Amino acid sequence: MIDRDFTAQLEGYGLTTAEIHYYRPDAPSLLQLFVWQEYDLAPDFPVLFDFLDHWRREIEAALHSVRIAHERQIGPTEWRAVDGIFPLR
């Protein structure tokens, strides 16, 4: 069984980390921090933006800012398909 995260990396996804700064409704003068991490596609970040849309709809905390870091861990030069079977003797 192949790991879902490994398959996503082979499809071009990279590890994305977002620092989400927000204000809670019960403490509007305090800036809070939430760290989110998932595999996503740069530069469009569809997974992150789906999460942020969910945040805006379902969570009462107001967003202040989002800082994004992204790293592709497997690049095209690191992975190549090999056709054939090579017995070890």
C-alpha span between 8 and 4 (Å, rounded): 6
State the pTM of this model: 0.74
- Taking residue 4's Cβ as centre, other Cβ atoms within 10 Å add up to 9
Query: Which residue did the predictor score with more confidence, 33 or 72?
Result: 33
**Residue 78's pLDDT is what?**
59
pLDDT tens, residue by residue, 55-82:
999 999 999 999 999 987 665 555 566 6
Question: How distant is the alpha carbon of residue 30 from its chain centre?
Answer: 26
Task: Report percent pLDDT > 70 for the chain.
Answer: 80
Containing 49, the helix (H) or strand (E) segment is: helix 46-58
Per-domain residue ranges for the chain?
4-71
How does strand 62-71 pair with strand 27-40? Answer: unpaired
Q: Is the pLDDT of residue 50 over 70?
A: yes
Cα–Cα distance for residue pair 55/37, rounded to 1 Å: 15
As a whole number of angstroms, the distance between CA 13 and CA 28 comes to: 36
